[in-house]
Structure formats: C-alpha cells, structure tokens
Amino acid sequence: MIAGTASDVGKSVITAGFCRIFKQDGWKPAPFKAQNMSLNSFATPDGLEIGRAQAVQAEAAGVPCTTDMNPVLLKPSSDVSAQLVLHGKPAGNRTAAEYFTTAYNNGLFAEATAAYDRLAAQFNPVVMEGAGSISEINLWDRDIVNMRMAMHARADVYLVADIDRGGIFGSIYGTLALLPPEQKALVKGIIINKFRGDTRLFDDGRKQLERLTGVPVTGILPYFRDIHIEEEDTVSLQTKYRRLAADKVNIAVVLLRHMSNFTDFNALEKYEEINLFYTDNPADIVKADVVILPGSKNTIGDLMAIRSNGAAAAVLQAAAAGKTVIGICGGYQMMGATIADPYGVEGEIRETAGLGLLPVHTHLAQVKTTKQQFFRFRDMPGTCVGYEIHMGVTTAAAASPVNILGDGSADGYWLSPKCWGTYLHGVLDNDVVVKQVIGTVGRHISAGFDYPAFRQQQYDKLAALMREHLDMQAVYSSLAKQ
C-alpha cells in the first residue's frame, strides 16, 4: 500500500510507477483503491465506472481496468453530497452525514474487501493506494481505504510525504506516532517525494527520521516536470491557469466548479503550437482562439454559475465573433437550447435554458451511460477512441452527428466546423480531431502526436526514475517475507 501523510503528496503517481516496475520485472500487478473521491472517472471495457487514477495505474500495469480496482467511487455534486458509484454503477446520492455512519461504512468495507480478495486471487502483487492521510483518528472506525484495508490485505505499507510542502518531520513523525502498534508494524518504509536539488543534502535528515520513527527511508524521489502522468485531482489545475500567448493557438477551457474529466485536455498540452489554459475570466475567454466547455457533475448548477460570473456571456461573445466553441459531455448539454431534470438527478431545478448555440435538447436520465467507444470523427479516415460517462439524453429535430460510433449510431451535434458538441470524453486525445480544431483558426499541426504511445513512454520514464532513487531490493525483500 502506498499511503500518505496528506492528500496530494503523490500517492497516485507513485502507485502507477510501482505497477510499471512490477510489470517490467515479470510480475502480474494490478492497482487497487477501495474508495476514491474524484470527478475524474473512466469507463471500463465492460461499461462500468471507476476513478481515472486506477485506470491510469492499470494501464501502467498493462492490464484492463475493472471495478474491483476501485469498488467505491464518490463523485461530489455539491458541498455536502456526492453520487455513490458502487462496483461501477450509480447507487444514489449520499450526504456526508449519511455516508459517514459506522453501519453504512461497514457495509461498504465488506464490498471493498470482497473486491480486493477477487483481485488478489488473479494478480500478484496488488498495489494499493490509500486516501488522504492515514492519521485521521476521528475517522478510523469508518475507514475503508487506509490502514483498516491494509490490515485486511496484510499489506506492506510505504508512507509518502511531500517535502516541497515543508514540515516533513512533523508530518511523518506525527503520522506514525498516531498509529496503533499493529498498524505501525505494517509500515515498511518512508518515501520522501518532490525533493528539489541534490538528495545527498538530506542525508542527515534521513538518518534523523529513521532514528525518530524506527522506520527506514526507502528513498527520496526528486521533483520532476518532464514526466507526465495523468493527475487524479483538480488540484493540479492550479499550475495551468496560464494566460494568452501571442505565438500560439490559445485554447481556453472554461473553469467549472464541478468540472469532470479534466484529463480530456492533457493531450492538447503536448502540441507545441497550442497554449492551453483554464479560466473563468470573461476577458480571457473572449480573446482565446478556441473555447471549450468541459464536462460537469452538476451541469445546471455550473451553467447558472458561469452565467453569474460572466463566463457564459463571454462564450456567446466568442462564438458571435467567429471563434471556435466546443462542448464535451456536460459542456455539450450547456450549448443546447434546454436542459431538463425531471427526476431531480442534479438538484431541485427541473429545467433551464441552455446557451442556445446548438439546436439540441437534453433530458437528464436516471440511468447512467458508461461505455468505451470506437468511433469515426466526421468523414475523416481512421478509427478514434473515447468513452461516455453521462446521465443525459440529448436530441435534435434533425441529426447532424459529430461522430459515428462503432455500432453505427450517432453522437453529438455538428453545427459547423467552429461549433459542435459531443458526449465523448477523450475525443481530443485523437490527432485527427485536434488537427480539425486547429485548422478552424487557420493553423496547422507540424507533426502528428500519438498520445497512447506517449503515455507508455511516461510510465517507463517514471519507473526508471523510481528505480534510481528507491531501494527496490528492500521492497522485494519485504514482499518475499509475506
């Protein structure tokens, strides 16, 4: 188990790295996270939903992702409630008060341990990821993802701390000091993450930590910017609030409060001709060459929010000025004439007008669509790949599809090359689609980009970095004793 002193210390990426190392060394690894809280999700090959981080880790391990890798997924829809996805299927909305009852969590823990047991029967080793901090003592009796899960699996636990934040001695010492003896006995090592500069300068700190805690420091990972692993949390977007660049195609992703699947735009960042940034600033939206409305877990609520802050008006102004405007999933729904929520899927508002950019109407349904898709983009040659995760059905008086899916059905609405929407996440991972978008502003991509191949290269780079800076012999020796 890769556990943490806090959230966003690098657990997800390090878990992916271990998955890749074990695959390279001839093992059959698989990732596991009992409970994930994220709006960044993915559709499994059998049409179910899990956290995107576990899908990334499964890709690093070289195995298809399954719901047993993430049996419990929470998708926040407001400040106090979230949709519960259990074994890949929606299981209703829960408030925090409802979710954190001991009896309810015991039931989820039973589901999580059963999923782990099925996974462990097929894969070796299972690389588990914890959530947040393992020392939240007020939640221990309701824990289904951290040390309680480690105890069930009898896992070797490695504690990750982010030295770039500061306070690393207190966070590591305090975390370990709070653990009961039987849980601390599972902790086999400490991993210092995001170290800037020469790691040899921390030799004294390493020895002091080991003396204080009685736990060896398994390694010190350097801070890196040249390895690109898809992030789980929107915390990473804080580094992407860039502004316009004079010599590039400026693509503005409208920043939504409940934005989902922000990894839809990771591939765009890899083209040297593109400057991608996230913003809700109306002035920046109007000046961008391309505006993208992304997915949302609360489409109506986010639409009302961007109306209030002026971003919606800026999108309309950009479209009127001939800029390219694209909607993906919830963003596609926003671009339509109306959005109806007759069953209260998202909240109390039963219907609202959309932006009116596309002649389509959306009804939010009680059944969620989750499916991987092969498709053809417009009349372009070649097969593209994406996936659907949505609870809406969008219709138009006359069909004008953006994509033709593998079963021959249509997806999205194409008003013009500069105005269209689709339900397909990952549509912009496909080079042919990116070239069309860039072509609308009179620019051309100098070279094609193979995003799937790029991701594989990043996993290998991450594994090489971790091998260089971690004591993998100690990791394997500990595993051999189990």
Structural domains of the chain sorted by starting position, each given as residue range(s) with its CATH number in brackets: 2-228+457-480 (3.40.50.300), 235-449 (3.40.50.880)
- Which residues neighbour 202 within 8 Å (Cβ) at sequence distance 6 or greater? 163, 192, 195, 220
Query: What's the DSSP call for residue 203?
Result: H
Return the H-helix or E-strand segment holding 279: strand 274-279
CB atoms within 10 A of CB 278: 23
SS3 category, 355: coil
Q: Which residues are catalytic?
A: 329, 425
For the four alpha carbons of 88, 89, 95 and 101, in that order, the dihedral sign comes to negative
How many H helices and E strands in the chain?
15, 26
CB 171 within 8 Å of CB 22 = no
> What is the per-residue pLDDT for 473?
97
> What is the per-residue pLDDT for 76?
85
> What is the per-residue pLDDT for 346?
85
Mean pLDDT per 10-residue interval, the chain, length 482 residues = 96 98 98 94 95 97 98 85 91 78 84 98 98 92 93 98 94 97 97 93 94 97 92 59 82 94 91 92 96 95 96 98 97 98 89 97 93 95 95 94 97 98 97 95 84 95 97 95 80
> What is the per-residue pLDDT for 232?
66
> What is the per-residue pLDDT for 103?
75
> What is the per-residue pLDDT for 3?
98
Burial of 47 (0-12, 13-18, 19+ CB in 10 A): middle
pTM, to two decimals? 0.89
CA atoms within 13 A on the CB side of 417: 11
- What's the distance, CA 38 to chain centroid? 7
- Exposed e or buried b per residue across 86-116, where buried means at least 16 C-beta atoms within 10 angstroms of its C-beta: bbbebeebbeeeebeeeeebeebbebbbebb
> What is the per-residue pLDDT for 239?
56
Through-space distance between the first and last CA atoms of the chain, rounded to whole angstroms? 14
Q: What is the pLDDT of residues 125-150, one digit of tens each?
A: 999 999 999 999 988 888 999 999 99
